[in-house]
Amino acid sequence: MSCTLKGKRILVIEDEYFIAMDIKRTLNDVGVDIVGPLSNIGQGLASASDDKLDAAILDLNLDGVMSFPLAERLAALGVPYLFLTGYDSWSLPHDFRAAPHVVKPFSSQQLIAAVEGLCGASAS
């Protein structure tokens, strides 16, 4: 299971420090090469353009700023992404309702499975 993610460059955008550290810890444990974590959308947009990314994990609400512009940018670049969200999907805008998402609070296993799903989808 951990083999599939080894060496993948995955961008993490999450404004809550402790959550960001949790994700970092979890993904580091399975050999992921973390880009970030970053706490705001500006840093995220810069990173999306500069880094060769395999996938991205986006917190939906970055201290009141929605991460949709970054999601659009990633989609344009062909980088698969998932949302981390405290929201149920009903409050997502229509265009993003189909995007994969992991609902907070989440376990390590849930997160890893979701990220594997992203990378697997991009590989096939």
Instruction: Count residues binding another protein (CB under 8 A).
Output: 23
Minimum CB–partner distance for residue 106 and another protein (Å): 8
Q: Work out whether 105 is an interface residue with another protein (CB under 8 A).
A: yes
Minimum CB–partner distance for residue 37 and another protein (Å): 8
Q: Work out whether 64 is an interface residue with another protein (CB under 8 A).
A: yes
**Chain-centre distance of CA 65, in angstroms?**
16
Backbone angles phi and psi of 11, in degrees to 5: -80, 135
Q: Measured between alpha carbons, how far is 51 from 10 in angstroms, rounded to an integer? A: 10
Q: Measured between alpha carbons, how far is 116 from 24 in angstroms, rounded to an integer? A: 15
Q: Work out whether 63 is an interface residue with another protein (CB under 8 A).
A: yes
Q: Work out whether 68 is an interface residue with another protein (CB under 8 A).
A: no
